[in-house]
Amino acid sequence: MKKESIQTKNGKAFEYAILKEFKEKLERATTVEVLENNALFTAQKHFNSFEKIEQGEFLLYASFAVNFLIDIEPRLSYSFDENDILQLEILIDDKGQDGDVRDVVAIRLLQKWEIGISAKNNHKAIKHSRLSSKIDFGEKWLGIKSSTQYFDEIRPIFDSLEKMRTENNKTKTWNSLGNYHLAIYTPILEAFKTELLRIYNTNPSQVASTLVEYLIGTKDFYKVIKSKKNIEIQAYNLHGTLNLPFKDIHPKFNTPKVNLPTEIINISYKEDTLTTLIVELNNDWTLSFRIHNASSRIEPSLKFDINLLKAPNSLFTNKLSIGGGEE
């Protein structure tokens, strides 16, 4: 729990640093308005909780990323007139539940244009979705209800976890169960795998693309990943809304449109593990789903750590070294 809170604190501080750098750099060129909401105040609070030297580090990394984004997004700097205001906003976390993974957005209402940034501090996981007897992952992720057979298979397992949790006043630990990976993780993963394939077979091309959109993001965005001595920028230009020119002013670099998958080729267990599924799709997409417990104490739910193992070559990626130039 402590580790998660530290990660949240760092992540929110980085979001605020990106918004702050956008504002300071762009208000020299255009009219900028920061939209105030609880997400902004939370991010600002976390940023202010750091010492000045740490704040400076967040701002340095954010500055590198923002400078590059200004180069490839002319509409950040250029406006029609004084009424064409650039609005900056930090989105509330609930947006991610709807498939919108963006943290910071820049909006021009007059141009009917916006871009978003997903800010990551030292981690590359793309989603942390849960499974439980009350969560219909088919409907939530793919818009297609999961079958009664799926729930019939997983419900007794989650019900037994809830019973153990209640009987032991929420103190019983996973480790007290012995080999819980084999007894609990494997049958739930197997049920998930079977159900995902069943749903896929109802409408293959739609399900394959919707799965990636839900996990990667339903709206185009830039992922900005801060790690030691470098910042990585990835352009998830799935629908062609990124990297647009403004009149005759073109971006300094091109971020091509990335093709979504239309087929699931294979779902298999990662070698030498019963806790991770590898989902291979066409168009060079590969995802991993590692199931785990989010707490040392038993809960009637499990969590996925979902990572993108492989993406199309057309996914624009640029790594900037903070100690020097581009890598």
- Per the CB < 8 A criterion, the answer to whether 17 and 47 are in contact is yes
pLDDT at 98 (0 to 100): 63
For residues 317 and 181, membership in a common domain is answered with no
Enumerate residues 6+ apart whose C-beta is below 8 A from 277.
189, 192, 193, 267, 268, 269, 270, 288, 289
Domain membership flag for residue 326: no
Alpha-carbon dihedral sign for residues 123, 53, 231, 234: positive
Domain membership flag for residue 28: yes
For residues 35 and 145, membership in a common domain is answered with no
For residues 237 and 114, membership in a common domain is answered with yes
DSSP label of 174: G
Domain membership flag for residue 179: yes
For residues 205 and 134, membership in a common domain is answered with yes
Structural domain of 188 = 130-212+260-310
Q: Concatenate the DSSP letters of all residues of 184-253 into one string.
A: IIHHHHHHHHHHHHHHHHHSHHHHHHHHHHHHH-SS-EEEEEEETTEEEEEEE-SSS-SS--BTTB--SS
Domain membership flag for residue 87: yes
For residues 76 and 198, membership in a common domain is answered with no
Distance CA 226, CA 285 (A): 23
Domain membership flag for residue 190: yes
For residues 64 and 16, membership in a common domain is answered with yes
For residues 162 and 202, membership in a common domain is answered with yes
Distance CA 241, CA 201 (A): 30
For residues 63 and 81, membership in a common domain is answered with yes
DSSP label of 111: T
Smallest CA-to-CA distance from 305 within 277, 268, 281 is with 277
pLDDT at 124 (0 to 100): 63
Distance CA 309, CA 317 (A): 14
- Neighbouring C-beta atoms of residue 323, cutoff 10 Å: 6
Looking at the structure of the chain, the number of domains it has is 2
- Per the CB < 8 A criterion, the answer to whether 255 and 235 are in contact is yes
Distance CA 265, CA 286 (A): 10
Q: Average pLDDT per run of 10 along the chain, which is 327 residues long? A: 68 96 96 96 96 96 97 97 96 70 95 94 75 95 96 96 92 91 94 97 95 91 93 94 96 94 96 94 96 91 93 93 61
Reading the block at residue 100, the tokens are 């919108």
Domain membership flag for residue 269: yes
3 state DSSP class of 297: strand
Distance CA 318, CA 326 (A): 8
For residues 43 and 104, membership in a common domain is answered with yes
Distance CA 14, CA 53 (A): 14
Distances (CA, A) of 140 to 98, 199, 210, 277, 286: 8, 12, 11, 19, 21
Q: What is the pTM of this model?
A: 0.85
For residues 153 and 232, membership in a common domain is answered with no
3 state DSSP class of 305: strand
For residues 135 and 156, membership in a common domain is answered with yes
**Amino acid at position 147, single letter:** S
For residues 176 and 112, membership in a common domain is answered with no
